[in-house]
C-alpha cells in the first residue's frame, strides 16, 4: 500500500491504534525538547513519575524564554533545569545558546524521527523531515519516561507547491497565504505535508519558517520531504550521517489537497490581532511604524539575518523607529560576527538582543502605548507583546528591514537591486554551550529555589458538579488570554499558587478575586478555545482555582489535552445556540456525571434560568479514565 510521508513516519512509530483518520493512536517518541517556561514543570512532573533516567534517544532542556533576570526566580529555574538534566540524562542548552527550535534544527533534529516538545512551535522540526509535535509539559514528561504519545490520528493535507518564488517574496508568504485561506482553525486535527516542484528550491530554514507557523493553523504538525536540501543543511552542520531520504510513495493519497502557485504570491502581512488576518502588503503600505522586531523561532536563521544585513548595509534606521534584532542561535550570531554582517546591523542603529525568544513572548522590548510594531514572529495576539493597546503586524524579515529604514510599512519589491546571499557549505559548529549529561546522574543533587513549589494534588471526578459561570468568553480565546506570558508572569511558571493569580488577567481583572470567592466554577467559551501556546499552565492554574468544567463550541488540540491531563472536564455544546443562553454568574449543575459521561449524554442544568442544555465530550476510553481519576499523573500512578 502506498503511503505519504506522515503515514510512513507514524507507521514506523505506531504503538497502538490504526492509521485511519479519527480514532486515538499512540506513537513512540524518539526525541523531546523542553524550554524553561514549560520545562520546570515538565521536570517536576518527570520527577513525580519516578523514572531515574530519560528513555528517549535524545532529550534536550533549553533555556530561551525566561532569560530576563529581574529577580532570582529565573536564575533559580535555570539552575534547577541544569541539575535536573544532569540527573535524568538530558542535554542542557545554556542561556544564550539560542532558541530551542533553531538550535534543535541545527544540532539534534533527524529526518524520519518523532519529536515531542513542550512548545507549540515544535513542528519547526518538520522542515527537516521530522514528525514534530507540540504538547503540554506532562505529555512530554511521560514521553521522556518512555511512555507513548497519544493523539487523534490526523488527516493529512497535501500542500502542493508549484512555480517559483519571485524576487523579494519569501517563505513567510507561503504560510501567510495558507493562513489567509484556511484561518487559525483550518488545521485542527491535520498534518500539512508539502510536495510538488516548488519545494525543490526551498532551503531547510525556509521550510522551517513554514512548518513553524503551521502551529498558527491549529495543525498537529507540518512536514517536508527529506531530500538534497536536507542533506545540504545537515552537511553544513557536520551531521551528514543523520541524513536519510524520505518522500511520499508515487501513488500516495491524501485527505485534502491545497495548491499554491509560488509564482503568483506577493508580499503579505498579517494585521492585528490574528495571524490569519492577512492582506497583500500593498493594502497597508505607508502605515507608520514605531518599532520593528526581527527574530523569534520563525525568522532568525543565518540566511534571514544576512538578507536583513544586506538591506541595512550603509543605511540608518528611521529616527522614529526602534529596531531590535535577536539572532536565533549562538551559531548564527557568531557567523554574523565573523563575516562582518553584524557590523552592518549595529551601524544601522539596530539594537542587538541575546539569542532568545525575548519580544515574541513579551519579555522585553514592549512597544510604546498605542504603538505599531512590525515583527517577524509568528503570533500577534492582543497584549502578547507586553503592551495591551499595541498593534502588532507580522511580515517577512525583508519587509521588516526595509520598513525600519523608511519608518512605515514598505513593499520590499520597491528595492531595485536583487542580491544573492552566499550560504557557506560549512557552518561554524561549536557545541560548548550544550552540556551533555553524565553517564550516571544518580549522585547529582537537584537544586531548588524558593519559587519552585510542589506539584498540586487533584482528587477524583465527583458524580455531581455545581457552581457558577465565573467567566464567559468568545471565539479564538488564546492561551495568552487564559494564562498571560511576559516578563512579570513567566518567572512564576514553577509556582502554581502565584501564577494562578494571573489567570484571565488581561480579559477580566476581577477574575481571580471572583473565582476565589466562588470557590471555582465553570468557564463558557466559543470556538477554538485555547488556541496558541502549549502552556499547560492555562489548564493547571484554572484547576488550582477550582475550575470544574469548560463548556465551549470547540477546543484547540493542545489545550484540550492539557485540560484532560489535569482533570478538568472539557465539554462541547450539542447545539451551539445554547452558548447564547448562558450568562456569566449563572448557576450550573451537572448530575449523574459518572453515568452520563460513559454514555456521552450529559445534561447541564442552568438553575438561574431554569434551562437544560445537552453537551458532549470527544474523549477516548483512556482519556475518560484520566478524567475520572483526577488527571494524568493519578492515572499513571494507578497503572504502576
Query: Which residues does 637 contact at the CB level (< 8 Å), separation at least 6?
Result: none
**Which class for 62: exposed (0-12), middle (13-18), buried (19 or more C-beta within 10 A)?**
buried
Q: pLDDT tens-digit profile of 337-348?
A: 999 999 999 999
Computed over every residue of the chain, the mean pLDDT equals 96
Cα–Cα distance measured from residue 295 to residue 224, given in angstroms and rounded to the nearest whole number: 23
**Fold equal for 5-264 and 465-639:** no
Residue 174's CB is within 10 A of a number of other CB atoms, namely 26
Q: What is the pTM of this model?
A: 0.96
Tell me the domain boundaries of the chain.
5-264, 268-412, 465-639
Question: pLDDT-derived band of residue 485, with 50, 70 and 90 as boundaries?
Answer: confident
Give the containing element (helix H, strand E) for 590.
strand 587-590
User: Rg for the chain (alpha carbons), in Å?
Assistant: 24
pLDDT higher than 90, residue 21: no
Question: pLDDT-derived band of residue 196, with 50, 70 and 90 as boundaries?
Answer: very high
Please give the sequence-ordered ranges of beta strands (E in DSSP) within 462-533, or none if there are none. 465-472, 521-524
Cα–Cα distance measured from residue 636 to residue 639, given in angstroms and rounded to the nearest whole number: 5
Q: pLDDT tens-digit profile of 283-316?
A: 999 999 999 999 999 999 999 999 999 999 999 9
Average pLDDT over residues 542-555: 97
Return the C-alpha cell found at 299. Answer: 525568522
Residue 336's CB is within 10 A of a number of other CB atoms, namely 22
Query: Which residues does 416 contact at the CB level (< 8 Å), separation at least 6?
Result: none
Phi–psi pair at 9, nearest 5 degrees = -70, -40
pLDDT of residue 417: 82
pLDDT of residue 548: 96
**CATH architecture observed for domain 5-264:** 2-Layer Sandwich (3.30)
What SS3 class is residue 584? Answer: coil
Q: pLDDT tens-digit profile of 223-254?
A: 999 999 999 999 999 999 999 999 999 999 99
Confirm if 105 and 224 have CB atoms less than 8 A apart.
no
Return the C-alpha cell found at 519. Answer: 470557590
- Name the percent of the chain in helix, strand, coil, to the closest 5: 35, 20, 45
pLDDT higher than 70, residue 336: yes
Confirm if 187 and 217 have CB atoms less than 8 A apart.
yes
Cα–Cα distance measured from residue 196 to residue 212, given in angstroms and rounded to the nearest whole number: 19
Cα–Cα distance measured from residue 57 to residue 113, given in angstroms and rounded to the nearest whole number: 10
What SS3 class is residue 289? Answer: coil
Q: pLDDT tens-digit profile of 433-451?
A: 999 999 999 999 999 999 8
Q: pLDDT tens-digit profile of 26-49?
A: 999 999 999 999 999 999 999 999
**CATH architecture observed for domain 268-412:** 2-Layer Sandwich (3.30)
361: closest CA among 327, 397, 385? 385
Question: How far, in whole angstroms, is CA 447 from its chain's centroid?
Answer: 28
SS3 readout for 382-432: CCCCCCCCCEEEECCHHHHHHHHHHCECCCHHHCCCCCCCCCCCCCCCCCC
Cα 255 to Cα 68, 188, 194, 210: the distances in Å are 44, 13, 13, 20
Residue 517's CB is within 10 A of a number of other CB atoms, namely 10
Confirm if 578 and 613 have CB atoms less than 8 A apart.
yes
CATH 3.20.19.10 fits 465-639, yes or no: yes
Cα–Cα distance measured from residue 570 to residue 498, given in angstroms and rounded to the nearest whole number: 24
pLDDT of residue 612: 96
Query: Which residues does 509 contact at the CB level (< 8 Å), separation at least 6?
Result: none
pLDDT of residue 640: 67
**Which class for 514: exposed (0-12), middle (13-18), buried (19 or more C-beta within 10 A)?**
middle
Question: pLDDT-derived band of residue 486, with 50, 70 and 90 as boundaries?
Answer: confident
Average pLDDT over residues 396-425: 93
Average pLDDT over residues 190-200: 98
pLDDT of residue 487: 85
Looking at the DSSP bridge assignments, the partners of residue 372 are 391
Average pLDDT over residues 557-574: 96
pLDDT of residue 613: 97
What SS3 class is residue 540? Answer: helix
Amino acid at each position: 500500500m502506498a503511503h505519504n510521508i506522515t503515514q510512513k513516519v507514524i507507521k514506523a512509530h505506531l504503538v497502538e491504534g490504526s492509521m485511519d483518520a479519527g480514532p486515538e493512536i499512540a506513537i513512540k517518541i524518539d526525541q523531546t525538547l523542553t524550554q524553561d517556561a514549560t520545562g520546570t514543570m515538565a521536570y517536576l512532573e518527570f520527577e513525580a513519575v519516578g523514572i531515574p533516567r530519560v528513555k528517549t534517544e535524545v532529550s534536550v532542556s533549553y533555556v530561551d524564554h525566561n532569560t530576563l533576570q529581574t529577580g532570582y526566580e529565573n536564575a533559580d529555574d535555570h539552575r534547577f533545569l541544569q541539575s535536573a538534566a544532569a540527573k535524568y540524562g538530558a542535554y542542557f542548552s545554556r542561556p544564550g545558546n539560542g532558541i530551542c527550535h533553531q538550535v534543535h534544527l541545527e544540532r539534534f533534529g533527524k529526518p524520519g524521527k518523532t519529536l515531542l516538545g513542550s512548545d507549540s512551535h515544535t513542528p519547526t522540526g518538520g522542515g527537516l523531515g521530522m514528525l514534530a509535535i507540540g504538547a503540554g509539559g506532562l505529555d512530554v514528561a511521560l514521553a521522556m519516561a518512555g511512555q507513548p504519545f497519544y493523539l487523534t490520528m490526523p488527516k493529512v493535507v497535501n500542500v502542493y507547491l508549484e512555480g517559483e518564488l519571485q524576487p523579494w517574496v519569501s517563505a513567510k508568504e507561503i504560510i501567510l497565504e495558507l493562513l489567509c485561506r484556511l484561518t487559525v482553525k483550518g488545521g485542527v486535527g491535520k498534518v500539512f505535508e508539502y510536495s510538488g516542484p516548488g519545494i525543490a528550491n526551498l532551503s531547510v530554514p525556509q521550510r522551517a519558517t513554514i512548518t513553524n507557523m503551521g502551529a498558527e493553523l491549529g495543525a498537529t504538525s507540518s512536514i517536508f520531504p527529506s531530500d538534497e536540501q536536507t542533506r545540504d543543511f545537515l552537511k553544513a552542520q557536520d551531521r551528514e550521517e543523520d541524513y536519510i531520504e524520505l518522500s511520499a510513495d508515487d501513488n500516495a493519497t491524501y485527505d485534502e489537497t491545497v495548491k499554491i502557485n509560488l509564482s503568483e504570491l506577493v508580499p503579505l502581512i498579517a494585521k492585528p490581532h490574528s495571524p490569519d488576518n492577512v492582506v497583500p502588503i500593498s493594502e497597508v503600505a505607508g502605515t507608520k511604524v514605531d518599532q520593528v522586531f526581527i527574530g523569534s523561532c520563525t525568522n532568525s536563521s543565518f540566511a534571514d539575518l544576512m538578507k536583513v544585513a544586506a538591506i541595512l548595509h550603509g543605511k540608518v534606521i528611521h529616527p522614529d523607529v526602534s529596531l531590535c534584532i535577536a539572532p536565533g542561535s549562538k551559531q548564527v550570531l557568531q557567523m554574523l560576527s565573523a563575516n562582518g554582517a553584524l557590523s552592518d546591523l549595529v551601524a544601522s542603529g539596530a539594537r542587538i538582543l541575546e539569542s532568545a525568544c525575548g519580544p515574541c513572548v513579551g519579555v522585553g522590548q514592549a512597544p510604546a502605548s498605542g504603538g505599531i510594531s512590525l515583527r517577524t514572529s509568528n503570533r500577534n495576539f492582543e497584549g502578547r507583546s507586553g503592551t495591551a493597546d499595541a498593534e502588532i503586524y507580522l511580515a517577512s524579515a525583508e519587509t521588516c528591514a526595509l520598513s525600519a529604514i523608511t519608518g512605515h510599512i514598505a513593499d520590499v519589491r520597491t528595492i531595485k537591486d536583487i542580491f544573492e546571499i552566499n550560504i557557506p557549505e560549512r557552518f561554524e559548529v561549536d557545541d560548548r554551550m550544550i552540556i551533555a549529561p553524565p553517564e550516571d546522574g544518580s549522585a547529582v543533587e537537584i537544586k531548588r529555589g524558593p519559587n519552585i513549589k510542589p506539584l498540586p494534588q487533584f482528587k477524583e471526578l465527583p458524580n455531581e458538579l455545581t457552581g457558577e459561570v465565573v467567566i464567559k468568553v468568545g471565539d479564538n480565546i488564546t492561551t495568552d488570554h487564559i494564562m498571560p506570558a511576559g516578563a512579570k508572569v513567566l518567572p512564576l511558571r514553577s509556582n502554581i499558587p502565584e501564577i494562578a493569580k494571573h489567570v484571565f488577567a488581561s480579559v477580566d481583572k476581577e477574575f481571580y478575586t471572583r473565582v476565589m470567592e466562588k470557590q471555582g466554577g465553570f468557564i463558557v467559551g466559543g470556538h477554538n478555545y485555547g488556541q496558541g501556546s502549549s502552556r499547560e499552565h492555562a489548564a493547571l492554574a484554572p484547576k488550582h482555582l477550582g475550575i470544574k468544567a469548560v463548556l465551549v463550541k470547540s477546543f484547540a488540540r493542545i489545550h484540550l489535552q492539557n485540560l484532560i491531563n489535569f482533570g478538568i472536564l472539557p465539554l462541547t455544546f450539542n447545539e451551539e445556540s445554547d452558548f447564547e443562553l448562558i450568562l456569566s454568574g449563572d448557576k450550573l449543575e451537572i448530575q449523574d456525571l459518572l453515568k452520563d459521561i460513559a454514555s456521552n449524554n450529559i445534561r447541564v442544568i442552568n438553575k438561574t434560568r431554569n434551562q437544560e442544555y445537552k453537551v458532549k465530550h470527544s474523549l477516548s476510553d483512556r482519556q475518560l479514565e484520566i478524567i475520572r481519576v483526577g488527571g494524568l499523573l493519578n492515572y499513571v500512578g494507578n497503572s504502576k
